[in-house]
Structure 1
Amino acid sequence: MGCLFIHGFGGAPYELEPLYSIIKERTDWELRLPILPGHDKNESLDGREYMEWVSKAEKELEDLTFSCDTIYVIGYSMGGVIASYLSTKYNVSKLVLLSTSAHYIDVTQLAEDTWKMAKDAARGDLLENDLFQRYIRRMGSTPISASLEFQKLVDDLRPYFEKVDAPTLVLQGGEDGLLPPKSAEYIYESIQSEDKTLHFLPRSKHMLCYGPDKDDLMNTCCDFLKI
């Protein structure tokens, strides 16, 4: 068994780390959680083209095919768009889409929303504040050229949702101010697989793995992956 995790635009692997950790704890699967080009803390997104992000994820998936007969792909936000696209090219047994961007997200609003979440978390000691500080710095310094590449990625890869035939779990935060419910509903309706589930996390915003419904998220994903 193998599982590829793909993080979002302007983010990094920490966006999926809680889900990655629980799957690692419960299985002996080969797990991949790469950093997409330009997203490392010492790199810049300036001048990057979206196919660099797609190609990196595809290379990781190709590597998994050499050692694993069964492969699952989990994508968050932009990573969900890439994951859906790759599932139409490779034999992906199951697909998990978290806060997936079938429509554009407002990166400025994302930074503002994340800051509010950080303050709430700091008051309750639920999350490490430096995680959010790093996220805010990255989103606040995102070059316009990279944002345009993100938009191109969504435009060019959106049609592939209609070609997805792998069993798919779609998860969306009920309080996600960046992606309206119609985004998740559009993905769910577009996917061709008869084995598909749309699950809303009513209290969660965009960063599902750190939201108030994270236990529900983990349980739903683990049930879907049968672990």
Structure 2
Amino acid sequence: MPNSHQSYPKVCLLLHGFTGGPFEVEPLGSHLQSKGYTVSIPVLPGHAGDDRHLGEVTWQQWVEEAEREAGRLAETYGSFDLAGFSMGGLIAAYLASRYPVRRLVLISASVIYLSPKRFATEMWEEVRRKNWSAFYKVQTTPLHAVLQFMMLVRSLRREIGRVQVPTLVVQGERDEIVHPYSARYLEQNLGGEVQVKYFSNSRHLIFLDIETKEVCEAISAFYEGDDNEAEKKIRS
């Protein structure tokens, strides 16, 4: 149940995923804005809307851009809520132990990937639907960027155990990119209080799927829950 006397700033930083852009999390941003939140969705270097090519940047630059915005929000508002989608989830976990994050949401976080067999099955489903966008993305993503992404995953996965703030883990059970077991991994390895919500009909782009409304409502309900524990974590 939401606090009757809200004392925290309604501010949220949203981080998009690898090769994606703000469009991946904008439905959540719009939903939070309708609840009175100030929402920030930075574009990570080399991604949508950036003049630099994805093959010319490093994983450290993705983290540094997210840190710049986290620092700005911390200086302006004192504390903020945070959500990261896919690769953005790992970056969000890194930020959560270094900035005054009140509550954290990890959405389809890039921790464990699908087996080749399941990936092939999902790709065959895309062929049947005549959806060629997934193949186009695989063919056009620079190898340099893929290697940078792999280095980011290896470097930031160790940050998960350092997270002490209340965290909601969101995972689509039909995710064709990130294995649903990732949610279990996060539940077992995050350092603070953890809630996990699975969405049985959702694929990887969970905010562009059929359960978008339910996912957004679950996240806003988590943010608007009793903030006593979250405030305690920030002050400690």
Residue pair 1:11, 1:138 contacting (<8 A) in 2 also: no
Shift of 1:137: 4.9
**Percent of paired sites with the same residue:** 33
Q: Name 1:21's counterpart in structure 2.
A: 30
Offset from partner CA, 1:110-148 (integer Å, 9 cap, x none) = 9x75x939x59xxxxxxxx9xx95x87555311011101
Q: Name 1:141's counterpart in structure 2.
A: 140
Compare 165-174 and 63-72 and name the one that shifted more: 63-72
Q: Name 1:125's counterpart in structure 2.
A: none
The 3-state SS of whatever aligns with 2:19 is: coil
Q: What are the residue-to-residue correspondences of 1:21-40 with 2, within 5 Å? A: 21-27=30-36, 29-40=37-48
What runs of 5+ residues in structure 2 fail to find an aligned partner?
1-8, 226-236
Q: How many residues align?
A: 212
Shift of 1:30: 2.8
Q: Distance in 1 between matches of 2:209 and 2:20?
A: 16
Residue pair 2:187, 2:196 contacting (<8 A) in 1 also: yes
The 3-state SS of whatever aligns with 2:106 is: strand
Q: Distance in 2 between matches of 1:9 and 1:172?
A: 17
Offset from partner CA, 1:36-71 (integer Å, 9 cap, x none) = 000035542112110000000000000001111230
Match of 1:116 among 126, 138, 141: 126
Q: Name 2:165's counterpart in structure 1.
A: 166
Structure 1 stretches of 4+ with a deviation exceeding 2 A read 40-43, 103-106, 135-140
Residue pair 2:46, 2:56 contacting (<8 A) in 1 also: no
Paired AA for residue 208 in structure 1: I
Compare 61-70 and 165-174 and name the one that shifted more: 61-70
Paired AA for residue 148 in structure 1: L
The 3-state SS of whatever aligns with 1:93 is: strand
Q: What are the residue-to-residue correspondences of 1:197-212 with 2, within 5 Å? A: 197-212=195-210
Are residue 94 (structure 1) and residue 103 (structure 2) matched? yes
Q: CA 1:21–1:52 in 2, change beyond 3 Å: closer, same or farther?
A: same
The 3-state SS of whatever aligns with 2:104 is: strand
Q: Name 2:5's counterpart in structure 1.
A: none
The 3-state SS of whatever aligns with 1:192 is: coil
Q: Name 2:15's counterpart in structure 1.
A: 6
Shift of 1:214: 1.4
Residue pair 2:90, 2:109 contacting (<8 A) in 1 also: yes
Q: Name 1:124's counterpart in structure 2.
A: none
Q: Name 1:66's counterpart in structure 2.
A: 75
Q: CA 1:72–1:136 in 2, change beyond 3 Å: closer, same or farther?
A: farther
Paired AA for residue 103 in structure 1: I
Q: Name 1:49's counterpart in structure 2.
A: 58
Q: Distance in 2 between matches of 1:34 and 1:136?
A: 26
Paired AA for residue 70 in structure 1: S
Alpha-carbon RMSD across the aligned residues, in angstroms, is 2.7
Paired AA for residue 65 in structure 1: A
Q: Distance in 2 between matches of 1:155 and 1:16?
A: 24
Larger radius of gyration: 2
Paired AA for residue 219 in structure 1: E
Offset from partner CA, 1:6-32 (integer Å, 9 cap, x none) = 0000000000010000111211x3321
Shift of 1:177: 2.2
Q: Distance in 1 between matches of 2:135 and 2:70?
A: 29
Q: Distance in 2 between matches of 1:136 and 1:23?
A: 32
Paired AA for residue 222 in structure 2: F
Residue pair 1:10, 1:139 contacting (<8 A) in 2 also: no
Q: Distance in 2 between matches of 1:208 and 1:164?
A: 24
The 3-state SS of whatever aligns with 1:46 is: helix
Shift of 1:104: 4.5
Q: Name 2:224's counterpart in structure 1.
A: 226
The 3-state SS of whatever aligns with 1:172 is: strand
The 3-state SS of whatever aligns with 2:54 is: coil
Residue pair 2:114, 2:179 contacting (<8 A) in 1 also: no
